[in-house]
A and B are shown apart, each in its own frame.
Chain A
Amino acid sequence: MTRAVSPRLAGYAGLAALGLAAGLVAGRVELVALAAPFALAAVVGWALARPPRLEATLSVDRERALEGEHVTATLELASPDGADRVDVFLELPAALRAEAPNPRAVQLARHVPLTLELPFRCERWGAFGLGPVLLRVRDRFGFHTWEMHAGERSSLRVYPSVETLRTLLPPLETQVFVGNRVSRTRGDGIEFADVREWAPGDRLRRINWRASARRRELWVNDQHPERNTDVVLFLDTFSDVGSQGRGTLDLTVRAAASVAHRYLQHKDRVGLVSFGGFLSWLLPESGTRQLYRIVDSLLTMDVVLSYAVKGVDVLPPRSLPPKALVLALSPLLDQRSAAALLDLRARGFDLVVIEVSPVPFVEPGTGELADLSYRLWQLSRESLRARYQQAGVPVIEWREDVPFQVPFEEVAAYKRFAKHVRV
């Protein structure tokens, strides 16, 4: 607890002394009378100087919330002596907007607990710490001020809102585990694939009696089995372009959360690789728990400046399982991530690059030189895209104002019409 005395109190005492001394010197009783209220105030102010005894408990009504939801922080205050004025301030991060006055002043009666509620709106995703609360207690005349922090620190995780994706990108190859995706291979399943001649070992129920009757020999149905797929979300966190909370990293996190949510709903296994100054990964798994793991990991994602040269070699092999669909979300600004993605393609991964476009966040600048640099920068980006397309990697630009479904549809169309390239 820190204590501050108003300079006014010392000033009043000084004025009282000055009045008394001047009255003595000049022999004027009016000057002594002039000093009287100030002397009285100084004495009263001195007598009021008792440190307050406050008990405070801070709680938040939930630990997890979605973007746009309302959360309430509750502060319980009590004091055995009461307090004339308590200023209460709960410091909120910029992503949380208070919907009630903050700071606010309250009066505490003796032994009467007071409950204060501060509702706020979660404006943006993130992992936040709330509290402790800053309390400033003043005496009735404002001569003395005591400041203290009270209440425990609470954590709040605000998850990004998930965009609806109607269709997902199918992988080139599925895994061996059962899932919701129709495999290209043939085996036991529901989806009809073809008919073929009977072979020893085929089950009786697979015989296609109509085809067999026409051909006068036994023919059986072939099916596509339902399998799952491994999806690795490869996030480029080397750089972030944007301002006021909106930028390429923000878009990347939102897109990754939506994609993970949708693939996990389809019983696929989803993994995460954050490739940047700080490297982190989650091995592919399925289920709701994995969704929470991924989103929690996304919340703490940030750009860390690093000059270290990194390649995909630094990643553990299990984080990039064979036949996995690697979905890269990158602003294509850092050469290291660009090289790593090409390396992945060269290793035979089914790679899709969704370019989170930094162009809307970049001001071209004024002047001929600035205009030339801007155009050169855009040309260099075009050239990088061309390199990817030469390697058979679909690169789709995605901008903030476009639904995330659109690049997915574009990738699907690209894959439908593009020839398979062996690098």
Chain B
Amino acid sequence: MTLAVLSALVYASVLAYAVAREPTFAAAIAGLGGIGAVLLLFVLLGTEELLPWALACLGGAYALSLVAHGSAIDPRAPLVAVGLFTCGELASWSLQERYARATPRAITAARAVAVVALALSGLAVAALVLSISAVPAGNGVAWTVLGAAAAVAILGVAARLAQRAR
């Protein structure tokens, strides 16, 4: 229960940040975030398959606030990324603990340490991405192709994992 509440709190914080960042599109951002919140509620009730969709809705709400705000880079984007990731991890953890009984404290602590470590690593990577983008490396087709290749590679990994999961 605690994990589920924490997950919902993190979700609400990220959504509040997105709404506060661009109040002119608050209704649209909150609407998209609200759909995600309903999906997250279903996730917390037991439908884990909806978790990526809930996070995608929240990410979409944040993206909408980004686009509406203008071309200025949001320096808090890594924190938003970590918030999204932490929300997903806590929701999933709460589901796994729902049917488990008598989990020793050592296992809980190990999982908490692992989640925090992964979140901090994600924060570092996201911050690195933002810092690299600030470095003037020039525009060009090569960078676009590299980015597209990375996206395709990640998509391939996702497809493979989805196939294994079935």
Binding site for B on A (CB under 8 A): 4-24, 26, 28-46, 84-85, 87, 101, 103-107, 138, 140-142
Q: List 11 A-B residue pairs with CB atoms under 8 Å apart, sorted by A's residue number.
A: A8-B52, A14-B162, A23-B147, A26-B66, A34-B63, A36-B78, A41-B118, A84-B110, A103-B100, A105-B102, A105-B104
B97-124 residues with Cβ-Cβ distance < 8 A to A are 100-104, 106-107, 110-111, 114-115, 118-119, 121-123
CB distance from A420 to the nearest CB of B (A): 65
B67 partner residues in chain A, CB cutoff 8 A: 26, 28
Our pick among A15, A45, A87 for the contact of B52 (Cβ within 8 Å) is A15
Query: In this assembly, does B26 line the interface, its C-beta being within 8 Å of a C-beta of chain A?
Result: no
Residues of B near A4 (CB, < 8 A) are 165
B93 to chain A, nearest CB (A): 7
B165 touches A20 (CB 8 A): no
Q: Considering only CB atoms, which chain B residue lies closest to A41 in the complex?
A: B118
Q: Is there an interface contact between A16 and B154, defined as CB atoms closer than 8 Å?
A: yes
Known: A87-B100, A101-B101. A33 touches B119 (CB 8 A): no
Confirm or deny: B82 has a beta carbon within 8 angstroms of a beta carbon on chain A: yes
**B111–A140 touching, CB < 8 Å:** yes
**Contact assessment for B104 and A106 in the assembled complex, using a CB-CB cutoff below 8 Å:** yes
Q: Given A8-B92, A85-B107, A36–B129 Cβ distance below 8 Å?
A: yes
Contact B88 A17 (CB under 8 A): no
Determine if A12 and B88 form an interchain contact, defined as CB atoms under 8 angstroms apart.
yes
Q: CA of A13 to CA of B160 in the docked complex: distance in angstroms?
A: 10
With A28-B63, A37-B81 given, can you name 14 additional A-B contacts, CB distance below 8 Å?
A5-B164, A11-B51, A14-B52, A17-B154, A20-B151, A30-B66, A34-B63, A38-B84, A38-B122, A84-B111, A104-B101, A105-B107, A140-B111, A141-B118
Q: Is the CB of B48 within 8 A of A40?
A: no
Q: Can you name the residue of chain B whose Cβ is closest to the Cβ of A7?
A: B49
- What is the CB-to-nearest-CB distance from A16 to chain B, in angstroms, rounded to a whole number? 5
Interface of B is mostly: helix
Contacts of A14 in B (CB 8 A): 52, 155, 158, 162
Contact B63 A33 (CB under 8 A): no
CB-CB nearest in chain A for B164: A5
Give the complex CA separation of A41 and B123 in angstroms. 12
Residues from chain B with Cβ under 8 Å of A44 in the complex: 118
Q: Are B161 and A42 in contact (CB under 8 A)?
A: yes
Residues of chain A with a CB closer than 8 A to B20's CB: none
B62 touches A21 (CB 8 A): no
- B38-73, CB < 8 A from A: 48-49, 51-52, 55-56, 59, 62-63, 66-67, 73
Q: How far is the CA of A45 from the CA of B121 in the complex (A)?
A: 14
Q: How far is the CA of A6 from the CA of B165 in the complex (A)?
A: 7
- Which of B88, B115, B144 has its CB near the most chain A CB atoms (within 10 A)? B88
Contacting pair A24 B107 (CB below 8 A): no
List chain B residues, Cβ under 8 A from A12.
52, 88
Instruction: State whether the Cβ of B157 lies closer than 8 Å to any Cβ in chain A.
Output: yes
Closest B residue, CB atoms, query A27: B71
Check B150 for interface membership: any CB of A closer than 8 A.
Answer: yes
Whether B162 lies near A19 (C-beta < 8 A) is no
CB distance from A153 to the nearest CB of B (A): 24
**Complex CA distance for A4 and B56, rounded to whole angstroms:** 24
| Contact between chains at B49 and A17 (CB < 8 Å) | no
A34 and B106 within 8 A (CB) = no
Q: Which residue of A lies closest to B100 (CB)?
A: A105
Contacts of A87 in B (CB 8 A): 100
Question: Taking CB as reference atom, which chain B residue is nearest A101?
Answer: B102
Give CA–CA (A85, B106) in the complex, Å.
Answer: 10
In contact, B81 and A33 (Cβ under 8 angstroms): yes
Least CB distance from B25 to A in Å reads: 15
Whether the Cβ atoms of B125 and A20 lie closer than 8 Å is no
Q: Is the CB of B161 within 8 A of A34?
A: no
Provided the pairs A15-B56, A28-B67, A29-B130 are in contact, do residues A8 and B51 lie with their beta carbons within 8 angstroms? yes
A103 to chain B: which residues have CB within 8 Å?
100-101
Residues of chain A within 8 A (CB-CB) of B59 are 15, 18-19, 31, 34
In whole angstroms, what is the CA distance A23 to B81 when docked?
A: 13
- Measured CB to CB, the closest approach of chain A to B10, in angstroms, equals 13
Interface presence of B96 (CB below 8 A): yes
Given A17-B151, A17-B154, A40-B125, A33 contacting B101 (CB threshold 8 A): no
* B8 sits at the interface (CB 8 A): no
Q: Cβ of B2 < 8 Å from any Cβ of A?
A: no
Q: Measured between C-beta atoms, what is the minimum distance from B35 to chain A in Å?
A: 16
Q: Which residues of B contact A105 (CB under 8 A)?
A: 100, 102-104, 107
**B85 engages A37 (CB within 8 Å):** yes
